[in-house]
């Protein structure tokens, strides 16, 4: 789990805890307590959604610094045929097939099999062998 995600959980739980504490200690301030509890729940939901929306490639691209400025490849489609995956990525301008081929061994390691990397229009395709 990433440091940012842990921090979001901690902030959420802290907010809920303070809200519950205020309700117990100062019932006249219950509206502030409800607000704090609501904020805490919202922050935890955001942390969970952030975790759900990530795929195995996001962290890899960041670790490999496979980017152009602050833009990273984005998984736009994945298909599975005969137990082999085919992943389609939208890539930022300035990144090309050669950048992915340079990092082929890391991609193969995360997928656990050999891969074929090729361009299809403006997109990069990574296909498991």
Global pTM exceeds 0.85: no
Average confidence score pLDDT of the chain: 88
Distance CA 29, CA 14 (A): 18
- As a whole number, mean pLDDT of residues 107-129 equals 94
Distance CA 13, CA 78 (A): 35
Are 16 and 29 within one domain?
Answer: yes
Strand partners, 119: 124
Contact 107, 60 (CB under 8 A): yes
Neighbours of 6 (CB within 10 A): 11
Residue 1, pLDDT > 60, answer no
Are 46 and 62 within one domain?
Answer: no
Are 74 and 99 within one domain?
Answer: yes
Task: Indicate the pLDDT class of residue 102, thresholds 50, 70 and 90.
Answer: very high
Q: What is the DSSP letter of 113?
A: S
110: domain CATH number?
3.10.28
What residue numbers bound the domain in which 114 lies?
56-128
């Amino acid at each position: 789990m990433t440091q940012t995600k842990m921090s979001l959980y901690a902030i959420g739980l802290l907010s809920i805890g303070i809200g519950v504490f205020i309700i117990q200690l100062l019932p006249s301030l219950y509206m502030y307590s409800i607000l704090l509890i609501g904020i805490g729940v919202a922050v935890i939901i955001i942390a969970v959604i952030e975790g759900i929306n990530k795929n195995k490639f996001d962290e890899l691209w960041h670790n490999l610094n496979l980017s152009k400025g602050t833009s990273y490849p984005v998984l736009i489609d994945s298909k599975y045929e005969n137990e082999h995956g085919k992943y389609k990525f939208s890539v930022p301008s300035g990144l090309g097939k050669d950048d992915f081929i340079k990092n082929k061994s890391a991609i193969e390691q995360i997928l656990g099999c050999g891969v074929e990397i090729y361009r299809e229009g403006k997109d990069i395709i990574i296909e498991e062998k």
